[in-house]
Structure 1
Amino acid sequence: MRNTVPWVRTVGVTFKEITATRVVTQLPDDPALHNHVGGPHAAMTFGIGETASGAVLLAAFADQLGRATPLVARTEIAYKKIGKGDLTAEAVLGRPAQEIVAELDAGTRPEFPVHITISNSEGETTAEMTVVWTLRPNR
């Protein structure tokens, strides 16, 4: 992702864990990315969560990308508190990958959630989000 998504490299996102069902990313604290109250800008919080969700999608469905294009269908985010320090995002695939692939095999356009918890350097939850992805069959 650091090579294909320039934003990831630009802001310094690192990947701490990558599996087909769970990804953990980290965004280092950087005053250049802060908002007016001294925490990371909401766009940074959203960005680390969406990046983690995309990484879990790639880990789970890399073998399907020749026949389908991943797209975000919708996203919901709840900001819980100001995130001070480094941010960590944990993304978890919300449905079994084999169910999603079976829908793709059946000729449908599957949708599936990825649930993300974003926490500060003390481990406190600062935001929760769900990104609903779809795999659009290539024509």
Structure 2
Amino acid sequence: MDVTIYHNPACGTSRNTLELIRNAGIEPTVIEYLDNPPSRTELVRMIGDAGLTVRQAIREKGTPHAEFGLDDPALTDDELIDAMLTTPILINRPFVVTPMGTRLSRPSEVVLDILPDTHKGPFAKEDGELVIDAEGKRVV
């Protein structure tokens, strides 16, 4: 299965999502989007395919969101996309694209909705929360 994750290795949710994909027996294409942001077309497609608005796809925490004034309701989607492409840390993460769909995997277990049920064994997040049990079944 062809899977792509737009990943930030400094983000625990992104790391957990990547490991959930691998636990399903898939080695995804990993795009570290801070260094290699998606094109405008790719970003707009991912947001739409995930069923999100542009505002839902913007990350606020730990970003210059407030100092850029991105909470201004007068800003258009195009202006928000411009900000995300200029400053990729504003793109919420991780986006995962599979043939089964696209998700903003927050929380990380959301990725399970677009992966086959082929887990290699139990999986717990970095904080210890069990997501996949010993029988390979989803817990959360």
TM-score band, normalised by shorter chain: under 0.3
User: Structure 1 length as normaliser, TM-score?
Assistant: 0.23
Q: 1 or 2, which has the higher strand percentage?
A: 1
